[in-house]
Structure 1
Amino acid sequence: MDDDISSDDSGADTAAAKRTGLVNSVLRACDVVGFLADHGPDVPLAQVADGTGLTRPTAHRILKTLEQAGWVRTTEGRYTLTMRVFAIGSLASRGNSLQAIARPLMTALAADTASTAYLYIPLDNKALCIDRVEPAHPVRVHHVNVGDSLDLSSGAAPLLLAALRPDLASAAGLDGGSRDLTAALAAARSNGYVVRHDDVYPGITAIAAAVRGADAHVVATIGIAGLSETLAGAAEDTARESVLRTAASISTALGFNR
């Protein structure tokens, strides 16, 4: 099979690629991904082709291939990178301050509570999971993957983001929601944490606390998810305190001063 997606590549380009060990189609796909990252979301085919110097048929084939791979989605002829690209990027960016600081503390939290630890940030009026640490435990909870985004009304950590960031709640249309949602947001705001049973899925208990930056702004939420039968009674209280301590430690490391 020819390595190049486009049939309109020049022979000189193909020969040069073979001499250098490069794959033209991969380079072109990288150009397309980079262009969408800089100019997205919702970029039309013509703009992608013009911006990358590709013919429209070649750009179209690359975009369709990226769509099949789950890297790009299309809506009414316009193209946008998916969260899968972010998930891969987040793995490469664990050296950034938030993830680098949080990762060892999340590892300790997962071990202490025998639960899966999660780190969420707000993105596009949703809660985006940017890291997950599993416990060394025979039963693990995999209901959210890195790169997944949840509605702010779904799950302990997203709900806490909505409660402590009224701007997010308003943008997500949660103002004037149901009586149960309004009460849950008020309780989360008052307590400063969230405990939810049957969280996202039945039989799962989730606990979340807020992470604040140097300016006291809520920048993330950290939480755990585990089996409800394990996180019950005194175990739930102990786990809640562990989550709160972990969130406080990350916040302090980010410069937050109570």
Structure 2
Amino acid sequence: MTTASPAPASMIDRIVTILDSFDGPHGFTLAQVVARTGLPRSSAHRILEHLVKVGWLRRDQLHYHLGLRILELGTLACYQHQLRGAASPHLYELAHSTGMTVHLAVLDGPEIVYLDKLGGRSSLRVPSRIGGRAPATCTGVGKVLLAYAEEAGLEAVLGRPLPRPTPASIGTERRLRAELAHVRDRGIAFDREESAWGLGCVAAPIGPPGSPEAALSVCGPIARVNLEHLVGPVRASAQAVWASVGAGRTAPPSSLHGAPAPRQPIGA
């Protein structure tokens, strides 16, 4: 039984306190949640009902239970940990052999989320971070994932103005569709100063043919790197990562992409 502590002041703290109170296999009534959290009854009821509405909780008559969205996020967190763990040695080898920055990313709507980043020896700063986001249309990993996305997913990207961090960024639907068709033909994507000046990237999909679940990229100073020479190593590393994931997979995450992550647009 959880002992209630002084009621937290901020809304986020209150939500976390309520979710943390669900520490057993059974549901709880409003009165029990109030007793376990120390929150005012009206505040607890309002938050509980909103969490039900967004799927974090479900209500069965008088009792509240953890919802499917919590299960989905927990499964995704386990998968992403598995993916990152399987990819880690291959990312390290690629970063070491090329001396460049290596990224592992997944697609979340119009953005990509970086699951991992290993820095290279280049003095050029690559503006990215683990857990950060970037516009998918401006990055190699984003384009290689958009190339195989369903039309509905692509329409969500095209339903808003395309971000243009640099003049080289893709700015029209026609050019984007042509670029994605080229990516599908080669199974590889490039970022030629589209996310940041001076930066070039090569990206390859990770996953079964035509249905990638993630992507990796190598990034470095475009003036000193022949991106075409990196196609082979990047593709080989992506295939090696997928082989490692398949060998250790415990649960497919195909419907779980899109977990919230800190929204801080970045380039890479």
Question: What is the CA distance between 1:35 and its match in structure 2?
Answer: 5.2
Q: Is the 8 A contact 1:94 1:100 kept in 2?
A: no
Residues 1:104 and 1:56: Cα distance change in structure 2 (over 3 Å): farther
In structure 1, what is the equivalent of residue 243 of structure 2? 252
More helix by share: 1
Q: Is the 8 A contact 1:199 1:206 kept in 2?
A: no
Matched, 1:191 2:183: no
Question: What is the CA distance between 1:95 and its match in structure 2?
Answer: 8.1
Q: Is the 8 A contact 1:121 1:127 kept in 2?
A: yes
SS state of the match for residue 241, structure 2? helix
Question: What is the CA distance between 1:100 and its match in structure 2?
Answer: 0.3
Question: What is the CA distance between 1:56 and its match in structure 2?
Answer: 9.2
In structure 2, what is the equivalent of residue 238 of structure 1? 229
State how far apart, in whole Å, the 1-side matches of 2:159 and 2:200 are: 23
Question: What is the CA distance between 1:125 and its match in structure 2?
Answer: 4.0
In structure 2, what is the equivalent of residue 226 of structure 1? 220
In structure 2, what is the equivalent of residue 80 of structure 1? none
State how far apart, in whole Å, the 2-side matches of 1:159 and 1:133 are: 20
Amino acid at match of 2:102: A
Q: CA RMSD in A?
A: 3.8
Amino acid at match of 1:153: T
Matched, 1:133 2:124: no
In structure 2, what is the equivalent of residue 165 of structure 1? 149
Structure 2 stretches lacking a partner, 5+ long: 21-32, 45-73, 161-171, 248-268
After superposition, give the CA deviation of every residue in 1:71-112 in whole Å (9 maximum; x if it has no partner).
Answer: xxxxxxxxxxxxxxxxxx9xx969832100111111111111
State how far apart, in whole Å, the 2-side matches of 1:13 and 1:162 are: 47
After superposition, give the CA deviation of every residue in 1:1-34 in whole Å (9 maximum; x if it has no partner).
Answer: xxxxxxxxxxx957xxxxxxxxx869x9666336
Residues 1:198 and 1:116: Cα distance change in structure 2 (over 3 Å): same
Residues 1:153 and 1:30: Cα distance change in structure 2 (over 3 Å): same
Structure with the bigger RCO (C-alpha within 8 Å, sep 6+) is 2
Residues 1:228 and 1:138: Cα distance change in structure 2 (over 3 Å): closer
State how far apart, in whole Å, the 1-side matches of 2:101 and 2:136 are: 20
Question: What is the CA distance between 1:220 and its match in structure 2?
Answer: 0.3
TM-score normalised to structure 2 length = 0.58
Question: What is the CA distance between 1:54 and its match in structure 2?
Answer: 2.1
Structure 1 stretches lacking a partner, 5+ long: 1-11, 15-23, 38-48, 60-88
State how far apart, in whole Å, the 2-side matches of 1:36 and 1:119 are: 30
Q: Is the 8 A contact 1:116 1:133 kept in 2?
A: yes
